[in-house]
Amino acid sequence: MDILKNKVALITGGASGIGRATALLFAREGASVAIVDINAEGGESAVNEIEAAGGRAIFISCDVTRSEPCRQAVARTVAAFGGLDILFNNAGIIRRADVLATTEEEWDLVMDVNVKSIFLMSKYAIPQMEKRGGGVIINTGSGWGLKGGARAVSYCASKGAVTNMTRAMAIDHGGRNIRVNAICPGDTDTPMLRSEAEQLGRSEELFLADAAVRPLGRYARPAEIAAAALFLASEAASYVTGAALVVDGGGLA
């Protein structure tokens, strides 16, 4: 229960799904956790759950597509816990449409939430990590950042950018003992996955049945993706950087 003892983690998109599961797991493993999201109800609920179990957490309401709120989120985390060791850039959205059906506003929003947020949060987090002698950045990519997918052009473009951005950051900051990796989940039981059925006009039951068609015969639980994030955040991955860790039940295979 002390894999992340004395570490400080900031998790975007931490109010639900993969982010929430990771916040709970990191806290159980000894980290102090800043949950960053626009969902105040979910964020405060996660904080309450962590504190009820004896952990330390704060919720920070933040629009991760804008510079000043991101700067303030990092500053508030450092003020609350004394530093920053781990940044999990997990905030993300999806719009299920091809080029013809995607509006310019939808394209910009997906790129801002899925890509620009990583740039902004990392820009302010890295100097704080350097003060600690190093740190870890984990970016949430996707299997669709490594291969294409139907009716999800903006999402595929954004996650492809996340994968290569991760590599570039690993090169730039490895000399300061900052490891940067991506997790590429397959379909995971989150509110975002279920929203895709509605966007595509499909029944949720049939959509989720299709999501389970992969070698392991099921879609992921958020806690399983959180476990991969814990590995990358821990000393067990001390020589892992620039990697895109696929956690998809064999879907890409």
Q: Render pLDDT for 235-245 as a digit per residue (tens, 0 to 9).
A: 999 999 999 99
Residues 205-249 have pLDDT tens digits of 999 999 999 999 999 999 999 999 999 999 999 999 999 999 999
Considering the domain boundaries, does residue 252 fall inside one?
Answer: no
Considering the domain boundaries, does residue 164 fall inside one?
Answer: yes
Considering the domain boundaries, does residue 201 fall inside one?
Answer: no
Considering the domain boundaries, does residue 195 fall inside one?
Answer: no
Number of domains in the chain: 1
155 carries an active-site annotation: yes
Considering the domain boundaries, does residue 200 fall inside one?
Answer: no
Q: What is the pLDDT of residue 110?
A: 98
Where in the sequence is the domain holding 112, given as residue range(s)?
Answer: 8-186+223-240
Considering the domain boundaries, does residue 112 fall inside one?
Answer: yes
Task: Give the chain's radius of gyration (CA, Å).
Answer: 17
Considering the domain boundaries, does residue 202 fall inside one?
Answer: no
What three-state secondary structure class fits 135? strand
DSSP code of residue 143? G
The model's pTM: 0.98
Confidence of residue 1 (pLDDT cuts 50, 70, 90): confident
Can you list the positions of beta strands (E) in 42-192?
56-61, 86-89, 135-140, 178-185
Task: Give me the catalytic one of 124, 155, 219, 239.
Answer: 155
CATH number at residue 133: 3.40.50.720
Residues 20-60 have pLDDT tens digits of 999 999 999 999 999 999 999 999 999 999 999 999 999 99
Mean pLDDT of the chain, nearest integer:
98
